[in-house]
Amino acid sequence: MTETITPVTDVVIGRKLWQEWSDYWPQADDPFGQWINPVRKHVVSQTLPDELGWNSSRITTNPMDYVNELRRHGDGDISVVGGIETVRSMFLAGLIDELTLTTHPVIADHGRRLFEGDIAMTRLRLLHANKTEAGNAILTYGLQQQG
């Protein structure tokens, strides 16, 4: 997990996930907390205030334009961590170069799907496969658009 997140300097995150994380992670002192607390967080929300704290700022312009600008002028990797609507919209806009999926060893009886509806055929190329001590599978894919 550390290999995956170390190069990330900016995180794009949806409102719901930001609210959940901002309640928990600022007090956490484990490896993920040590990474997520100082990293710059860019929140996709129309309802949160502009001043958020926790090294976070609300995206006040079109999120796709904002992320394009961040890609052009950023100084490290950008991670889109969720929620599912944020990841899906960034993927459909062609703003995601690599897709890292983490599978947790838990069986749920229902849930939302990342890819559903009218999504163009996209081939994925496996770039990395890792397993954590907790049994999570971390799979990183490169995207290859099919025309």
User: Looking at the predicted structure, is the pLDDT value of residue 118 above 80?
Assistant: no
Question: What span, in angstroms and rounded, lies between the C-alpha atoms of 18 and 29?
Answer: 18
Question: Would you say residue 85 has pLDDT above 60?
Answer: yes
Who has greater pLDDT, 121 or 79?
Answer: 79
Whether 132 shows a pLDDT value over 60: the answer reads yes
Q: Is 6 left (phi over 0), alpha (psi -120 to 50) or beta?
A: alpha
The answer to whether residues 78 and 11 touch, using CB atoms and an 8 Å cutoff, is yes
As a three-state string, the secondary structure of the chain is: CHHHHCCEEEEEEEHHHHHHHHHHHHHCCCHHHHHHCCCEEEEECCCCCCEEECCEEEECCCHHHHHHHHHHHCCCEEEEEECHHHHHHHHHCCCCCEEEEEECCCCCCCCCCCCCCCCCCEEEEEEEEEECCCCCEEEEEEEEECC
Domain at 2-145, CATH from 3.30.360.10, 3.40.50.150, 3.40.430.10, 3.90.850.10: 3.40.430.10
Decide if pLDDT at 147 tops 50: no
Q: Which residue has the tokens 């001043």?
A: 51
Chain segment 17-65, per-residue pLDDT in tens: 999 999 999 999 888 899 999 999 999 999 999 889 999 999 999 999 9
Question: Burial level of 86, CB count in 10 A (0-12/13-18/19+)?
Answer: buried
Say what the pTM is: 0.82
Domain residue spans in the chain? 2-145
What is the per-residue pLDDT for 145? Answer: 55
